[in-house]
Amino acid sequence: MTTPSGLKGVQADQYAPYQSEPTPAPGTVQTALLDPSNFQNIRGPILTDEGGFREMFAVNPFFLPGSQWTVQLGSGSIGVAGGNCTISGSLIANDTTYISIRVDFMPLLFNFSLDELGGRVPAATLPNFFFGMYSNPDPAIAISSGQFVEEIWAGGASNTTGAFRSGSGGFLQTTGHTITARTSIGFRTIGIDGESCFIRDGSTTLPTTTTRATHSVKMPSLQTELYLVIGFRNGPVVTGPIWSVEIQAIFVKNSNRLVVNTGF
């Protein structure tokens, strides 16, 4: 008895798929491709570089036709001018204002340049500024029952206080750390790979291995599709004044390999 070959594919004259080919719509059934060596070429659901992008805010990307950004405006404000994006919180209890975009599956490196525009008073109870990667475009859902990794700048706290959190299924890990001055323009980085996730602030060196190892269990899995979210969220009590943060650029890179912690 013989077993017939169950795989048939279109022979390509070069290695495929080509970058110049249009991205198929979700749910499209495509013929498998064979490269010149007769190996099948299939894009898998993880470990791709399709979610990487660079946003320089030359225009307002949030309301363009076909934009992939989602805006949760709340009672705050989001504006783009002069190559910068400004996000401001509000004084409404439990209010949220943020921007969200689908990125990719881990491993991911998220790097962006920002500074505080003012309005933060240490004695006041202000909104928390946050940025991170979440398993849902609504970070509240990801934090309560999904998976996430995020950085928090607590409103009204010291100028050098930050909180780095990761979570899975409602279980959290939190690490407090020192950040560079909020009013100094600089790059902030979140990395997440097959070993752990971490925050890097205004530095070219990695956090200590102890800090990285803290966030190695309760973190998004390899099969979790992630969303990048940046914005403000309020607690049950908020007092003035309004706090604003300016973003100059956003870089998201999928590292396309499982364990790259020592290479970030």
Whether 146 contacts 135, CB under 8 Å: yes
Full pLDDT tens readout for the chain, 264 residues: 444 445 555 554 444 444 445 555 666 666 666 655 566 655 444 444 456 778 888 888 888 888 888 888 888 889 898 888 999 888 888 889 999 998 877 778 888 888 776 656 665 567 788 999 999 999 999 999 899 999 988 776 666 778 889 998 888 888 888 777 777 777 888 888 877 888 888 766 667 777 777 788 888 888 788 899 999 988 887 777 788 888 888 888 776 544 445 544
Query: Does 22 share its domain with 80?
Result: no
Is 64 found in the same domain as 18?
A: no
Do 200 and 97 lie in a common domain?
A: yes
Q: What is the pLDDT of residue 36?
A: 57
Q: What are phi and psi of 69, to 5 degrees?
A: -80, 145
What's residue 21's pLDDT? Answer: 55
Is 29 found in the same domain as 58? no
pLDDT in the model for residue 51 = 61
Residues 86 and 178 in one domain: yes
Residue 164 sits in a domain whose CATH number is: 2.60.120.560
- For residues 74 and 180, membership in a common domain is answered with yes
pLDDT value of residue 136: 92
For residue 219, the enclosing domain spans 53-263
User: Do 228 and 149 contact (CB within 8 A), yes or no?
Assistant: no
38 and 144 share a domain?
no
Is 95 found in the same domain as 172? yes
- pLDDT the model gives residue 158: 61
Predicted TM-score (pTM) of the model is: 0.75
Considering the domain boundaries, does residue 48 fall inside one?
A: no
Count of domains forming the chain: 2
The 3-class secondary structure across 146-189, one letter per residue, is: CEEEEEEECCCCCCCEEEEEEEECCEEEEEEEECCCCCCCEEEE
pLDDT at 257: 47
Answer yes or no: do 19 and 63 share one domain: no
Same domain, 21 and 59: no
Predicted confidence at residue 117, as pLDDT, reads: 63
Q: Please tell me whether residue 140 adopts helix, strand or coil conformation.
A: helix
Residue 146 lies in a domain: yes
119 occurs within a structural domain: yes
Q: What is the pLDDT of residue 155?
A: 74
Provide the pLDDT for residue 162. Answer: 82
The answer to whether residues 32 and 125 belong to one domain is no
C-alpha distance from residue 152 to each of 131, 172, 230 (Å): 7, 14, 10
